[in-house]
Amino acid sequence: MAGMNDLAARLRALPSFPEDMPGLAPDAVPEDPAELFLAWLEDAIAAGVRQPHAMTFQTLAEDGSPVGRTLILKDLDERGLHVSTHRTSRKGEQLAADPRAAMTFFWRESGRQVQVGGTVAALDEETSQADWSARPSYEGSPNPDWQVYALRPAWYEFTQSRLDRKHVRIGYRRGADGRWSHDRVTTPAG
């Protein structure tokens, strides 16, 4: 059924990518994907975009179906990419049952997407309470339900969009020896 007000036509007519997007030279990417991720995050911060640290965080529900929601990236260190939430939230329960998770960042001003997936670990209580007490709404008491999790990446995929839709995608995979390898991703893309 066609939309009463031509939704499909209006969506198609919406402006998409900005004219001046950065490039991504596949031969010049770093060996460590965290380096590229941080460079893109820093670019988004420097550009003054709102919530450059917001991403879609995907978990698996009890029946195996995927579920995503927006979360804020709290930190990135050798343990992985940090997020914080209530341990008794749905996502907390899901992570306790199945620690596999993925994140999707999208910086529309630069046409950049980063996907990262792996396994989540609950970090120590000190880290969690430090995060809790740094929140703007902190009222002076600790919260035993608050938990910082670190996603230890097994893979990353970086997409640099292009106006001609020949988007450049680089996939990184962590090998059994812990070393990263990367390659162009050439499967069909929009």
Ligand X SMILES: Cc1cc2nc3c(=O)[nH]c(=O)nc-3n(C[C@H](O)[C@H](O)[C@H](O)COP(=O)(O)O)c2cc1C
- Tell the smallest beta-carbon distance from residue 75 to ligand X (Å): 12
CB nearer to ligand X: give 59 or 160.
59
CB nearer to ligand X: give 51 or 181.
51
In the block, which residue shows the tokens 């749905």?
90
Contact yes or no for 120/151 (Cβ under 8 A): yes
CB nearer to ligand X: give 67 or 189.
67
- Tell the smallest beta-carbon distance from residue 83 to ligand X (Å): 6
Kindly give, in sequence order, each residue whose CB lies less than 8 Å from that of residue 40, ignoring residues fewer than 6 positions away. Answer: 105, 107, 110, 112, 114, 158
- Chain residues binding ligand X by CB under 6 A are 51, 54, 69-72, 83-85, 89-91
Cα dihedral value 70, 76, 81, 85, nearest 10: -50
- Tell the smallest beta-carbon distance from residue 72 to ligand X (Å): 4
